[in-house]
Amino acid sequence: MQKRMIAAVDDDSRVREALQSLLESAGYRALLYSSGEQFLSSGKLMEIDCLIADMRMPGMDGIELQRRVRVERPGLPMFFISAHQDAVARERALKGGALDFLYKPFDSVDLLRAVASVLNDDADSKTGI
């Protein structure tokens, strides 16, 4: 069986590396991008099963990325992560179809459960619980 592909878009290399380690430890294939532009130009939008994106990034922010993704893949499960407590951005993201908005540092178990839930995977086996 082919591994589910999760794209993670964050301008912080440490966050990308942590997400890669977390997702791969749960059996997913992690595709990492440093910007929304890099992700959209990768040609992987139609291949991924889920998208995790930072809200604030140089250039294209998370809301603009979400808007562009929704044009091509309206039903793609999408989660946001952010280091900034911004209720307005959170509300916009959720109204735009994001399934969750987690603040950094987020609980890795919470993120894995959310991803497993939308992909109909066994969440407990993904989190080791």
pLDDT of residue 75: 94
Q: What's the pLDDT at 2?
A: 79
- Does residue 69 surpass a pLDDT of 50? yes
- Of the candidate CATH numbers 3.40.50.1100, 3.40.50.2300, 1.10.150.20, 2.60.200.20, the domain formed by 5-127 belongs to 3.40.50.2300
Q: Is the pLDDT of residue 129 over 70?
A: no
Among residues 31, 29, 28, 33, the alpha carbon closest in space to that of 62 is found at 33
Q: Calculate helix-pair angle for 87-95, 62-72, nearest 10 degrees.
A: 0
Question: For the chain, give me the number of helices (H) and strands (E)?
Answer: 6, 5
